[in-house]
Structure 1
Amino acid sequence: MVFSSSLFLFYFLPGFLLLYLLAPTRLKNAVALVASLLFYAWGGLNFLALFLASVVLNFSLIRLMDAAVDWQKRIYLTVSILLNVGMLFYFKYANFFLENLSEVKSAVGGEALHWRQVVLPIGISFFTFEKLTYSIDVYRGVNKPLRSFWDFLLYIMLFPKMIAGPIVRFQEIAGQLQDRSAFDTVDQKLAGLFRFGLGLAKKVLIANALGQEADRIFGLAPADVSAPLAWLGAVAYTFQIYFDFSGYSDMAIGLGRLMGFQFPENFNNPYISRSITEFWQRWHITLGRWMRDYLYIPLGGNRVKPARLYLNLWTVFLLSGFWHGAAWNFIAWGAYHGLFLILDRLFLLRLSRRLGVLSIVPTFLITMVGWVLFRAESLSAALTFIGRMFSAEWPRVLPDLSREFWATLGLASVCAFMAALPPVERWEMNWLTAEPMPLRRAVGLGLLTAVLLVLSASYVISGSFNPFIYFRF
């Protein structure tokens, strides 16, 4: 079940909100937990028992760790990490390694392997990171472990963030699991509803329209893809993945606000970045911070010699690419971004400072080529597509695409780049953070929310193309 589906919008969400808002304070966590279990079971019932068993084991291990002495703490932490990483490795990467091993055996004259394909549980990449952050934060003494197993289960399973983030660290939400009264206001609920409506509109009105054309172009035979058509496909996907994923994050953050939770921001206008370093400070922010604090810094961070620092950067982004998907094109995508992060430190940051605002253009182009690696079905297909982008075949007539596509592409461009103007950046945050909210602003926000919800709901009812890119991660 995804947020932009008819089932969620017209049945699950209204029913849940009615029960949650009417429930007394002491029962709100119970209502949220039952709803989260139903939400996950709808698409992942076969894995629910395994998922719950892993949560029970994690909770028990961390309680034991908290009561143990130093050397025992490390043992319990290690077991917890191995349990979580082992589950992720098996379900997400077993097929990848077996396929590659089979190909190697066949290449040297051996018999190909035969195995039953491992099915990927929904949201495993995201809730694995959250279980890890709980274990590590308790070990580091950042937070005490939760006393209630049900609160811990709610932290892991809270449905707005469970499938595709944001990746919420334990320390960011620990207090809110037991007391959300500070955020349980009418202004917060109105801001949350607007944020949900904004995210839904980004997803269904922009991402879906562009995604349909991107899928068609990437599905063509290479001989049928001219250079301008390849660039249009890359541009369409570049905007699709941003409005799709940031739209989902907006919806998750908005739903959290409706419930009294404050989730961290996950996107901050990434396509106005002036370097790849800045891009990763603005794109999938919670993943970037997780990688920095739980992987990059433990490897030595910036405290090591330059050669080791560059190796650390590349290692982190190779793993980031592999986290996104078990395929060589994702690994290549991670290596590609790691390379430009290293080049930033060597000389590109100095060059971008000289270019000023113009450095947005080369950064966007670098990012767009990288998204081809991310989107293609395989590494060879990605390289072929990139080859078509840079080929000399430029016909005199532009590809014949629909007016809806061109209009949506124009709207996406304006929305993605207008934040380069200082008064515009994070305008919605300025609107939503003022509390108490002035009456005129509250009325305007309510009307705008209603328009966004009606337009988006109309599209969901009438449209049939409604994928969600990060659902498979």
Structure 2
Amino acid sequence: MLFNSIEFFLFLPIVFGLYWLIGGKRIKSQNLLITVSSYVFYGWWDWRFLSLILFSSLVDYTIGLALGKTEKPSKRKLLLWISICVNLGFLGFFKYYNFFVESLIDSFTFFGAELSINTLNIILPVGISFYTFQTLSYTIDVYNEKLEPTKDIVGFMAFVSFFPQLVAGPIERATNLLPQFSKERTFNYSNAVDGLRQALWGLFKKIVIADNCAKYANIIFNNHTEYNGSTLLLGAIFFAFQIYGDFSGYSDIAIGISRLFGFDLKRNFAFPYFSRDIAEFWRRWHISLSTWFRDYLYIPLGGSRGGLKMKIRNTFIIFVVSGFWHGANWTFIIWGALNALYFLPLLLTNKNRVNTDLVAQGKYFPSFKELAQMSFTFLLTIIAWIFFRADSVSHAISYLKNTFSFSLFSEIEIFPIPILILVLFFVGTEWLGRSGEYAIENVDFMSKPVRWGYYILLIVLMFSFTGEKQQFIYFQF
């Protein structure tokens, strides 16, 4: 069920009405409604995969209880590894089985040997990478005694399957979201209005920006040998705005809808394309995943506490694993490794924490230095996105080779002026609203007629420039 579908626009008011009709004092009934609604929401794609969410929930719930009953280190470690193996085992089978088989066959073929192993026709369950990491955060936090194990199985199942962020995040920590299911929720009008406002902006990002940019990005990437370098560069820029509008749009909708039900999700994007270096970019892009890998992989590996070799090793591990998390393709691994290379000079010169403030704070325009830094960081990001978007490594290399050729200075062959104007409007709005949690958060300074006129403008643009409806990009991860 897509957020931008008729089914969801019928589903949401029904669940919202029933939820508040039950009342905030009947927490268990509300949690049960959320669980049932979330299973309906997820089962709309393929009901067969509901068993995976159910099984994962039951495994980690049971292990959490067992961890709470024992202090024996060996037993606690065994329980933790059971959770890790079960969750990552499912993820590995559905997402990576064919990748490893094909890579193994290619390796033997390279050395002149034939290996006969059949691949499987496996359907990737939507959102499996997201809810797997969410349940793992619970088990790991209970193991590390950062969280008491819950005895409320319905509340735990609601936490795992919470429909606004189930299939594409944000990846919520159990320490943040799970306790909210045990508290009384009361309807807050101002929070609901703010949630609707953020969801509206998210829908605009998805429908107007992402889906329209996707049209031209797909044309250019799928026929890259037919276009000159300037057009290929524009295609990469279109994809950069497609993936940002698509993914951050989903996060905005998820966070906004959650507020309608009295829940606060963590921020997932903080205007990453205004970053002045790649370290700042990764503090602002997919924050829930970046911090997950930092806390549950990078720090346990030693983080930056060791010597130079350990710092370099851990940096490459975190980025390469992050790339592999996105998909079973060498393009994602190279994308991760490339970002590690970008990050390395900052780490080695201790400049990875330089730009932690808001860019051009209190100003309408950035300085020339800030503009140059943002432009260079955006260019590096675009180059990396080419590997992310390409079908194969050879496709990405060919695309880059054709882009950065003499034809880079030729006339652009595809130049959709209305879409480019919409992108400029989008960037301008994000720039003016960059001090908030999302771009149009701080619009209360406007008079009521102007504010409502702006909301109507966004809605009109969504109806006027509706791109071809597509699934959210991160559903495939």
Normalised TM-score (structure 2): 0.90
Q: Which residue of 2 aligns with 1:152?
A: 156
Contiguous gaps of at least 5 residues in structure 1: none
**2:103 counterpart of 1:100:** yes
Q: Alpha-carbon deviation of 1:77?
A: 1.0
Q: Which residue of 1 aligns with 2:263?
A: 261
Q: Alpha-carbon deviation of 1:180?
A: 4.6
Q: Alpha-carbon deviation of 1:343?
A: 1.4
Q: Deviations over 1:350-393 (max 9, x none)?
A: 99889445211111110110000100011110111111111112
Q: Which residue of 2 aligns with 1:379?
A: 393
Deviates more, 1:443-452 or 1:57-66: 443-452
1:126/1:164 contact within 8 Å kept: yes
Deviates more, 1:224-233 or 1:171-180: 171-180
Paired with 1:430 and 1:94, the residues of 2 have a C-alpha distance of 40
Q: Give the residue type in structure 2 aligned to 1:30.
A: L
Aligned Cα root-mean-square deviation (Å): 2.5
1:198/1:449 contact within 8 Å kept: no
**2:143 counterpart of 1:129:** no
Identity of aligned residues (%): 35
Structure 1 pair 381–243 and aligned structure 2 pair: CA distance change class (3 A)? same
Q: Which residue of 1 aligns with 2:17?
A: 18
**2:465 counterpart of 1:456:** no
Normalised TM-score (structure 1): 0.91
Paired with 1:323 and 1:84, the residues of 2 have a C-alpha distance of 14
Q: Which residue of 2 aligns with 1:408?
A: 422
Q: Which residue of 2 aligns with 1:361?
A: 375
Q: Which residue of 1 aligns with 2:169?
A: 165
1:271/1:364 contact within 8 Å kept: yes
Paired with 2:253 and 2:472, the residues of 1 have a C-alpha distance of 13
Q: Deviations over 1:153-196 (max 9, x none)?
A: 00000000100000110001132111153x73100000011111
Paired with 1:379 and 1:178, the residues of 2 have a C-alpha distance of 48
Deviates more, 1:84-93 or 1:386-395: 386-395
Paired with 1:252 and 1:369, the residues of 2 have a C-alpha distance of 29
Q: Deviations over 1:56-100 (max 9, x none)?
A: 121111101110123211111111111111111111110101111
Structure 1 pair 230–400 and aligned structure 2 pair: CA distance change class (3 A)? closer
**2:195 counterpart of 1:192:** yes
Deviates more, 1:443-452 or 1:156-165: 443-452
- 1:64-103 → structure 2 map (5 Å cutoff): 64-71=66-73, 72-103=75-106
Structure 1 pair 443–30 and aligned structure 2 pair: CA distance change class (3 A)? farther
2:227/2:413 contact within 8 Å kept: no
Q: Which residue of 1 aligns with 2:286?
A: 284
Q: How many residues align?
A: 460
Structure 1 pair 410–449 and aligned structure 2 pair: CA distance change class (3 A)? closer
Aligned mate of 2:435, from 426, 431, 443: 426
Q: Alpha-carbon deviation of 1:339?
A: 1.1
Q: Deviations over 1:317-343 (max 9, x none)?
A: 100000011100000000001111111
Q: Alpha-carbon deviation of 1:449?
A: 4.2
Q: Alpha-carbon deviation of 1:349?
A: 3.7
Partner SS, residue 130 of structure 2:
helix
Paired with 2:448 and 2:153, the residues of 1 have a C-alpha distance of 38
Paired with 1:115 and 1:293, the residues of 2 have a C-alpha distance of 34
2:22/2:30 contact within 8 Å kept: yes
Aligned mate of 2:45, from 43, 62, 73: 43
Structure 1 pair 289–395 and aligned structure 2 pair: CA distance change class (3 A)? closer
1:194/1:445 contact within 8 Å kept: no
Structure 1 pair 415–371 and aligned structure 2 pair: CA distance change class (3 A)? farther
Q: Give the residue type in structure 1 aligned to 2:121.
A: Q
Structure 1 pair 433–133 and aligned structure 2 pair: CA distance change class (3 A)? farther
2:228/2:412 contact within 8 Å kept: no
Q: Which residue of 1 aligns with 2:219?
A: 216
Partner SS, residue 69 of structure 1:
coil
Contiguous gaps of at least 5 residues in structure 2: 356-367
Q: Alpha-carbon deviation of 1:113?
A: 3.1
Paired with 2:414 and 2:77, the residues of 1 have a C-alpha distance of 62
- 1:326-337 → structure 2 map (5 Å cutoff): 326-337=328-339
Q: Alpha-carbon deviation of 1:397?
A: 3.1
